[in-house]
Structure formats: structure tokens, C-alpha cells
Amino acid sequence: MLAVLLPVAVGVAIYLFGTHHTPRYDNGLYGQHGTTAVDLKAQLSTALLGLALIQLALALWMYGRLPGARSAPPPVRLGHRVLGFLTFLFSLPVAYHCLTTYGIETTTPRVAIHSFAGCALYGVFVAKVVVVRSRRLPGLLLPAMGALLVLGVALLWYTAALWALNGDSVPGFSTV
């Protein structure tokens, strides 16, 4: 029961904070403000997407699903865990800036998708940690949670970082 409730509670808590928090549009990120903070966040998010893709490649290697690769040596598992933890830590300043600067917004479909995906991402992260620690849950949940994490990072990147880096435009969403 905890495996379901805890991830949902995390996602809902982030959502509630974001909807009840007064946005502070003048918030900075590493000393940058306004459009320079948005550009920095887009660059950091692009790095996060790269780290998530490396995580995916390491997971595929560990599970013997990386075409053309030999069996993963034991240090790959440790590297995957360490890199995953560092990726999570690296994501926190970006998420904190998003949440405290903008909160949860639903002004356009792109912004709404980004807001809800951000809440869900950290719920999925908690779910993955619960699955990793559990011996009772089905083994297929671990790669499923990992895949959801990578997809979540990609969706967040697409709806914000790519949008910012591409002149406030991405395929599938109007420039509004």
C-alpha cells in the first residue's frame, strides 16, 4: 500500500504547493534573472535530458538489452545508481526554480502539461525508489518506473527547455 500512496502523496504535495504558492516571477537561478534564468534553466534541463538518456543506456546495458554490447560489468550497476542520484540532485534547483517562480499554471496546454508532468516526475522517482527497495513488487515495475522517469524528463524538456531554446515554439503547441 505504501508503494502506491507515497509516490501519489509526493506528486499531490508538489501540486498543492504549486497551486497555493504565490508565484515570484523575479526569482533568480544561480544569480540569473528573467530571460537569462530561463535560458540557464533550459541549458541545465538539456543536460538533465542527456543524463537521463545515459541512465537509460546503462539500464539497457545492465538488462542485456543494449544491441551489440557485451554483458555489463559489475561497476555499471553502481555507476547507474550513483549517476541516478546525482541526476536527481541536479534536477532539484531547476524544479525549485520552476515551482517557486511560476507555481502550477494551466494558462496554455503546453504550460499545463509541463506543470502536471513536473509534479508526476517526482512521484515517479519516489515510486522507483520504493520498487528498487522492495522484494515483494513485480520485477517488471523497475524498468517501467525507469522508463517513466526518462519519458517524464523528456516531456518536461520538450515543453519548456526546447520551447525556450527554440524561440518560444515547439511542434504541437502554438506560440501562445
What share of the chain has pLDDT > 70, as a percent? 98
What distances in angstroms separate CA 75 from CA 57, 58, 78, 85, one per listed residue? Answer: 14, 11, 5, 15
The mean predicted confidence, pLDDT, of the chain is 94
What share of the chain has pLDDT > 90, as a percent? 86
Structure confidence at residue 175 (pLDDT) = 59
Give the pLDDT confidence of 62-83 residue by residue, as tens digits.
Answer: 999 999 999 999 999 999 999 9
Structure confidence at residue 12 (pLDDT) = 97
* Predicted model pTM: 0.93
At 173, the pLDDT band (50, 70, 90 cuts) reads: confident
- For the cut 60, the answer to whether the pLDDT of residue 176 exceeds it is no
pLDDT, mean of residues 31-58: 96
User: Which residue, 66, 52, 59, is CA-closest to 80?
Assistant: 59
pLDDT, mean of residues 104-123: 96
Give the pLDDT confidence of 92-112 residue by residue, as tens digits.
Answer: 999 999 999 999 999 999 999
